[in-house]
C-alpha cells in the first residue's frame, strides 16, 4: 500500500522523529510512504541515510495540488492535510468506490480514556470530504491501545551492540565511570541534579545531547549563585553532536541512567530497558501532571522514582537522590510487558486494512 503521512514540526523534533520512524519501518515491511513535512531539515542529521521506499516531500501551500492520495492517509498529532488534499480523498473515493483509510495518529498517553477512544470513528462533518470517516489511533502502553513503534530488527541490533567500541568511536573514555545521558528541556531541578551527580560515590560522566540540553547545562554551570556553581571540573561532562536516530538508541544502550523528554525518546528508553527519568512536555494548564502520574501508575514506579519524577518535572520542590540500581527492575518489567503486546506498526497496518 501507499501511505501518505502528514507531519507538522511544532517546536521540537519529536513529531518528525516519530513520523520518520513510522514511515521507515513501513517501508522496511514492504510498504511505500510519502512523508509530508513542513520543516524537513532535521532529517538531514536525524536520518541522513534515508530509507528505500520513503519519499520525503516538503509540505507547503499548494504542494499537494494534483496529488492522488495513497491507500492510507495518516494525520500525525492532529495536523490536517488541508482542503485540497481532503477534496482529492473524496474524489478518489468516488472514482474507486472505496475510501482510503484515513487515520488520526494521536499523542501518546497512559491515561485511562485512551483505551476508550482508541479505534473510534470520526465522521467528517464539513468541507470537501464531508461524509467520509477518519479513525482515531492512540499509541499506548496496554493491549487495548495502538502500542509503541518497535522495529523488527531492534532485538538483533541491541544484542550486537558493542558499548566499548561505540564509546571509543566517539572519543569517549571507557574508564568504568557511571554513564548518564541527558536529553531534556530546561528543568528547574537541573542544577540540583548536576550537584547530586558531582557529589555521588561513583565517578560519573554526563553525556549531554546537542541543543536545549547542552544550553541548559551550560547556563546552570555559569550561574554563580546556583547549586551547580563550581562543579565544572568535578563532574565529567561530554557534549555530544546531533545524533542520528540509530545513534541515539546506541546512547541509551550505553548508559546506566537515561534522562529523556517528550514522546519519541521515552519510547526508545522503554525499549532500551535501562533505568530512565522522563521529562514530560510541559503544558501551560498543567495537564501534563495527570499524564505523568498516569504513566507512573502504569510503570508501577516505586516511591523513589515517583518522587524523583515529580521533582524533575517541577511538580514538587526539591530533587531526591537518584536510585538507578533500584529502578533497573522497573525498566526491565516495563519492557517485558510491552514486548508481550502487538507493536504500533503492525496494529496500524491492520487498522488501515480494516478501514478501507
The pLDDT score that the predictor gives to residue 351 is: 95
The pLDDT score that the predictor gives to residue 197 is: 94
- Looking at residue 24, which CATH number applies to its domain? 3.40.50
172 plus 207 within the same structural domain = yes
The pLDDT score that the predictor gives to residue 184 is: 97
Concerning whether 264 is annotated as a catalytic residue, the answer is no
The pLDDT score that the predictor gives to residue 229 is: 83
The pLDDT score that the predictor gives to residue 299 is: 98
161 plus 283 within the same structural domain = yes
* Number of separate helices (H) and strands (E) present in the chain: 14, 12
19 plus 72 within the same structural domain = yes
pLDDT single digits (tens) 158-215: 999 999 999 999 999 988 899 999 999 999 999 999 999 999 888 999 999 999 999 9
The pLDDT score that the predictor gives to residue 91 is: 96
Mean pLDDT throughout 93-99?
95
Phi, psi of 21 (to 5 degrees): -55, -45
Closest to 220 measured CA to CA, from 198, 191, 195: 191
Concerning whether 15 is annotated as a catalytic residue, the answer is yes
The pLDDT score that the predictor gives to residue 356 is: 78
348 plus 334 within the same structural domain = no
Are 137 and 118 spatial neighbours (Cβ–Cβ below 8 Å)? yes
Whether pLDDT at 65 is above 90: no
What b/e string do you get for 41-54 counting C-beta neighbours within 10 Å, with b at 16 or more?
ebbeebbeeebebb
Long-range CB contacts for residues 39-46, cutoff 8 Å, separation at least 24: 39/8, 39/9, 40/16, 42/9, 42/13, 42/16, 43/16, 45/242, 45/243, 45/244, 46/13, 46/16, 46/17, 46/20, 46/242, 46/244, 46/245
331 plus 235 within the same structural domain = yes
Q: What length is written for the chain? A: 356
CB neighbours (10 Å) of residue 95?
9
316 plus 195 within the same structural domain = yes
Are 183 and 245 spatial neighbours (Cβ–Cβ below 8 Å)? no
pLDDT single digits (tens) 217-250: 999 999 988 888 888 777 899 999 999 999 999 9
80 plus 213 within the same structural domain = no
The parent domain of residue 268 ranges over 154-339
114 plus 79 within the same structural domain = yes
Return d(Cα 127, Cα 353) in angstroms, integer: 25
Sign of the C-alpha dihedral computed for residues 206, 210, 211 and 215 taken in this order: positive
Which of the following is catalytic: 4, 15, 31, 106?
15
Sign of the C-alpha dihedral computed for residues 299, 303, 306 and 309 taken in this order: negative
73 plus 172 within the same structural domain = no
Residue 252: C-alpha distances to residues 276, 305, 308 (Å) = 9, 18, 19
Kind of pairing, strands 178-182 and 257-261? parallel
The pLDDT score that the predictor gives to residue 234 is: 77
C-alpha cell of residue 268: 526508545
Confidence of residue 103 (pLDDT cuts 50, 70, 90): very high
End-to-end CA distance of the chain: 11
- Please state the domain count of the chain: 2
Q: Tell me the pTM.
A: 0.96
The pLDDT score that the predictor gives to residue 202 is: 85
128 plus 203 within the same structural domain = no
Which of the following is catalytic: 71, 75, 106, 263?
263
171 plus 65 within the same structural domain = no
Q: Look at residue 320 and give its three-state secondary structure.
A: coil
309 plus 184 within the same structural domain = yes
Amino acid at each position: 500500500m501507499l501511505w501518505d503521512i502528514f507531519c507538522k514540526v511544532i517546536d521540537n523534533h519529536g513529531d518528525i522523529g516519530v513520523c520518520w520512524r513510522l514511515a521507515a519501518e513501513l517501508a522496511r515491511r514492504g510498504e511505500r510512504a510519502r512523508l509530508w513535512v513542513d520543516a524537513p531539515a532535521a532529517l538531514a542529521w536525524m536520518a541522513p541515510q534515508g530509507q528505500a521506499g520513503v519519499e520525503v516531500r516538503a509540505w507547503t501551500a499548494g504542494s499537494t495540488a494534483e496529488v492522488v492520495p495513497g491507500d492510507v492517509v495518516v494525520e500525525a498529532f492532529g495536523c490536517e492535510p488541508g482542503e485540497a488534499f481532503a477534496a482529492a480523498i473524496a474524489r478518489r473515493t468516488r472514482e474507486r468506490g472505496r475510501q482510503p483509510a484515513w487515520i488520526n495518529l494521536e499523542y501518546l498517553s497512559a491515561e485511562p480514556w485512551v483505551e476508550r477512544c482508541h479505534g473510534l470513528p470520526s465522521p467528517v462533518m464539513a468541507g470537501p470530504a464531508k461524509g467520509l470517516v477518519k479513525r482515531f489511533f492512540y499509541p499506548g502502553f496496554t493491549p487495548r491501545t495502538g502500542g509503541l513503534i518497535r522495529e523488527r530488527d531492534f532485538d538483533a541490533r541491541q544484542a550486537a551492540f558493542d558499548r566499548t567500541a561505540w564509546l571509543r568511536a566517539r572519543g569517549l573514555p571507557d574508564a568504568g565511570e557511571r554513564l548518564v545521558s541527558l536529553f531534556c528541556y530546561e528543568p528547574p531541578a537541573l542544577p540540583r541534579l548536576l550537584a547530586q551527580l558531582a557529589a555521588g560515590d561513583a565517578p560519573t560522566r554526563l553525556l549531554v545531547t546537542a541543543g536545549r540540553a547542552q544550553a541548559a547545562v551550560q547556563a546552570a554551570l555559569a550561574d554563580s549563585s546556583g547549586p551547580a556553581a563550581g562543579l565544572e571540573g568535578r563532574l565529567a561532562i561530554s557534549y555530544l553532536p546531533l545524533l542520528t536516530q540509530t545513534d541515539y538508541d546506541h546512547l541509551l544502550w550505553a548508559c546506566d541512567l537515561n534522562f529523556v523528554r517528550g514522546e519519541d525518546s521515552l519510547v526508545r528508553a522503554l525499549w532500551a530497558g535501562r533505568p530512565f527519568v522522563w521529562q514530560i512536555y510541559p503544558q501551560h494548564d498543567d495537564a501534563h501532571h495527570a499524564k505523568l502520574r498516569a504513566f507512573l501508575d502504569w510503570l508501577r514506579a516505586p516511591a523513589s522514582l515517583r518522587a524523583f519524577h515529580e521533582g524533575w518535572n517541577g511538580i514538587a520542590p526539591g530533587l531526591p537522590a537518584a536510585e538507578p540500581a533500584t529502578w533497573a527492575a522497573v525498566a526491565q518489567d516495563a519492557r517485558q510487558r510491552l514486548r508481550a503486546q502487538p507493536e504500533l506498526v503492525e496494529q496500524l497496518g491492520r487498522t488501515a486494512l480494516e478501514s478501507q
